[in-house]
């Protein structure tokens, strides 16, 4: 079950290089200005639909920035989830070299996600308070796509899907992701297939529980990194994963700083203690043995 990669019929008519050359000649180098139906760009990107999704609930101009940055982040969450699923598919197919491309894209997309925080640096507590009460209990904590991202990275907490139990499709998709191996689990299976001593209790466990760091996994990464040869695809995979983890950590850190800037240590809108909750969540490490192994390298 997956709604994050829905393939639809082509919304535009395909054209060839010859078609483009003929059109450019007919236009004498200018752009095409007349179309029989919907403008092709809008048909493909659905820009008019995207631009119709911003519905402010107050008259505060700053709310528009808060709303749109939140929506931009949601789109990035979805894109990064797409890349991680593709990387996992290739890892399960014993193709760590092929998995490097989606992982590197994911790292770049995480950098773009991180850049979105800059658009909210203007927000002081006074600015946020002008529209915060009207948001009710709405909180980024309730982002289902962010939960998908955490689950794919291996950060697992079954309790966090409870808010969605009345949204059947969303809840069912989270249940499926929570019960399936994370990308880190897929990597550990790959190491096992390549002859590394990954314990059975690490490989055969309840995936809805968060992975506990294992000394044998750390030892495997130490051995992998000891081979500095140009054909060591597992070391390259480790570095690509480390970049993803680092960029994701930067996002979590910037989230904490944005909360500190806009509301300090006030109680969160979603019912948590806000800043303290976020700070505790940062202690959970993505791909833990990939980092702990570096001490012994």
Q: Can you tell me the distance from the alpha carbon of 127 to that of 10, in angstroms, rounded to the nearest whole number?
A: 44
Determine the Cα–Cα distance for residues 264 and 112; give it in Å rounded to an integer: 25
How many whole angstroms separate alpha carbon 102 and alpha carbon 89?
Answer: 10
Q: What are phi and psi of 168, to 5 degrees?
A: -55, -50
Q: Give start and end residues of each alpha helix (H) in the chain.
A: 17-26, 40-45, 47-50, 61-92, 96-115, 125-129, 144-153, 168-179, 183-193, 200-203, 215-226, 233-263, 275-281, 288-292
Q: Which residues of 162-185 are buried (b: 16+ CB within 10 A; e: fewer)?
A: ebbeeeeebbebbbebbeebbbbb
- Say whether 132 counts as a known binding-site residue: yes
- Sorted by sequence, the CB contacts under 8 Å of residue 177 that are 6+ apart come out as 148, 151, 152
Distances (CA, A) of 86 to 79, 100, 105, 238: 11, 10, 11, 16
As annotated, the binding site for heme includes 255
Binding residue numbers? 132, 255
Going by the annotation, the residues of the binding site for substrate are 132
């Amino acid at each position: 079950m997956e709604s994050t990669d829905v393939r639809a019929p082509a919304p535009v008519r395909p054209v060839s290089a010859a078609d483009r050359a003929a059109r450019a000649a007919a236009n004498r180098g200018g752009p095409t200005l007349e179309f029989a139906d919907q403008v092709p760009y809008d048909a493909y990107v659905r820009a008019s639909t995207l631009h119709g999704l911003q519905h402010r609930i107050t008259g505060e101009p700053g709310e528009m920035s808060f709303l749109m940055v939140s929506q931009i982040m949601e789109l990035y969450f979805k894109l990064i989830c797409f890349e991680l699923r593709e990387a996992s598919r290739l890892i399960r197919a014993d193709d760590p070299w092929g998995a490097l491309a989606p992982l590197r894209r994911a790292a770049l997309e995480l950098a773009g996600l991180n850049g979105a925080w800059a658009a909210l640096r203007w927000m002081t507590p006074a600015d946020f308070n002008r529209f915060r009460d009207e948001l009710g209990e709405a909180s980024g904590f309730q982002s289902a796509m962010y939960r998908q991202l955490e689950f794919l990275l291996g950060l697992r907490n079954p309790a966090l899907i409870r808010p969605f139990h009345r949204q059947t499709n969303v809840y069912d998709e989270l249940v499926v992701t929570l019960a399936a191996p994370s990308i880190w689990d897929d990597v550990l299976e790959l190491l096992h297939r390549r002859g590394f001593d990954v314990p059975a209790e690490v490989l055969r466990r309840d995936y809805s529980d968060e992975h506990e760091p294992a000394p044998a996994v750390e030892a495997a990464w130490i051995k992998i990194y000891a081979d500095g040869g140009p054909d060591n695809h597992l070391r390259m995979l480790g570095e690509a994963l480390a970049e993803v983890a680092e960029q994701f950590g930067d996002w979590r850190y910037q989230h904490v700083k944005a909360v500190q800037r806009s509301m300090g240590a006030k109680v969160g809108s979603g019912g948590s203690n806000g800043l303290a909750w976020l700070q505790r969540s940062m202690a959970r490490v993505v791909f833990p043995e990939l980092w702990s192994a570096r001490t012994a390298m």
